[in-house]
Structure 1
Amino acid sequence: MTSKAAASTNLPSDLAELAPRMREVVLHVLEEYIESALPVASASVARRAKTSVSAATVRATMGELTEMGLLSQPHSSAGRVPTDHAFRLYVDDLMSQVSARSSLPAGVGRSLTQPTGDVDDFMRRTADLLSQATGQLGFLLSQVPDRLPLRHVHFLRVSSERLMVLLVTQGGGVQTRIMDESDSDQRTLDAASTRLSELVAGCTLAQARARLASAIERERERSDSLWRKAFSLGRAGLSSALEAELYVGDRNLLLAHPEFSDVQRLRQVLCALEEKERMMRLLDKIVHADVLSVVIGSELEDPSIRGCAVVTAPLGDLSHGGGLGVIGPVRMRYAHVIPIVRYLSEYVSHCIA
């Protein structure tokens, strides 16, 4: 049967607008639904109530909340479940109370380690830690900062037809890309790497591209075959460098949530997380400088993840840092998740500063 949901156009904008009994009932429904993932019965809410109240009274209140658009009823014989709008009011209220370190599991702090030069490994471990600590699917989108100067560029043959491009920054970060090339042996690649590194050392990625373009124009008639090879490889290697790296935690954690027992729905969510451009568009819309954001259900524009919630925070300077967060069912434990996302965003921002 179709869900019975309210058609009210006068949705409250704050939990404080509700009468005390209505506020207590909707909070009980939210908390029990978050824990059980099952429709909540009026008798269950009556047992949780701080004051003595009958199941019939609670049932009438739940009916009013349904008419207001805060609860819905999957079918006539079932209990009620919170709507996206109820979760929005709940999260807004929670955000005004949750401090950066409240409810932060002790194990999170102990699991953190300083990056030791392998930035990729540090980012992957952070995404995994987000997943493990929250029980949701953690992700980290790291913008490749144009402002970081390059130390050197190296080309490494990985097959007869493909090269790996390694862009190493002066801070020890490494960005790798695969490009097609079948003409050069490793000795030639090493020599071209040395020439190109001498040209772009100390430059940001944008400056390196500009310097290379200028050198190509200036040396157009040069007969040195090694320089021509260095120019050719540099143009392809530097232009293929993407502006972001996406790290995703343990995808199997989504299987623990009954909302993702539908294989098709699970596949849609995972596909969205695997596409960097898609995630960059999502974060551009929901990440705001110095602000942790929670986007719930129908608020998400991407239809494949509209049944989910995303908790995310920026990393460092928003124009360079990217963001990290988690994605999971709308029915997530926000009081547990929010402090962890906030804490890790501040920690990683400090590490990459």
Structure 2
Amino acid sequence: MNDTAYLDTTLVAGPLLEAAQTTPTALWNDSSDLDELRRSIAFGGVGATCNPVIAYTTISRHPEVWNDRIRAIAAAHPTWGESTIGWQAVKDMSVEAAQLLEPIFVEHHGRNGRLSVQTDPRLARDADAIVAQAVEFSELAPNIVVKIPATQVGIAAIEEATRRGVSVNVTVSFSVAQAVTAAAAIERGLAAREAEGHDTSAMGPVVTIMVGRLDDWIKQVVARDKIFLDPSALEWAGVAAFKHAYRIFQDRGYRARLLSAAFRNVHHWAEFVGGDVVVSPPFKWQALINASDYRVVPRMDVPVDPHYLEQLRRVPEFVRAYEVDGMTPAEFDEFGPTRKTLRQFLAADADLDALVRDILIPAP
């Protein structure tokens, strides 16, 4: 059961709060927007995330706050380029959200109350650079957890960053093979850190499966390859992969928790309630769920309908994502959702650069 005693009468009754108070399932907000995060905490939320996509959205949504702040960053650092200025804004945003979550972090002894910060996707081919930035980000606040992609290079960075004391949030991850490989890397990193005499009990690693992005990819492949199947099965690919990975994590005793991200439908929360996992929906979904009359029922251990699994197994890309040996680390980088997501993150970096440019040098 999640301890929400640090929250007072601002708590908002509803299904999300009920799940937070009666099950081990943790709610994290898929945004570091402070207004959204405060409201998510009132729903029982105990964590949040930031990345260039979120930063771009937040800065665009609140120009009355961020335009002057970006100008101030630029004025204080006259030799910085727009990318460095934009990333400083991401860091500042992350620190402020982390401060809001710090009482929860203390209450949960490091397990929750964390703010995820994503490493720069432009470093994706350089493990040493990823680790160096992960260490830098982890020192921004005591309750930072750093996102590193589940690519071949990223797996090596995950292990080394963990050894160096960074609590990692594995991202760009869509499959059981990626999740299990990443969790094993975290275990090796934790073991190495412990062998060096360090206490790891307050570290809070999580391994994300972007369940909605897996659904998106399977739907794209089915349309592309003209595969005939029951269309209702297409809403269950991510759920099936997540539940399969969860069973493996439990059987193998991995210390990292699974995190469900890339919300597309209510299954991506409801089907995971009851598990010792993190669910990270956008705030608009949280508001919708918490205002509903949905009755909370633990479903993490309820298997996916065998009919849906049989249908999904007609899709080779689902089999790759579902089976624990469906892909090797060398194949992670070639998986369709990996390419699509890395390209989106890289585009978000470019968008953030352009936004900073427009603030500093407005069009005539």
Query: TM-score per shorter chain, which class?
Result: under 0.3
Q: Which has the higher contact order (CA 8 A, sep 6+)?
A: 2
TM-score scaled by length of structure 1: 0.26
Instruction: Name the structure with the higher helix share.
Output: 2
Larger Cα-atom Rg: 1
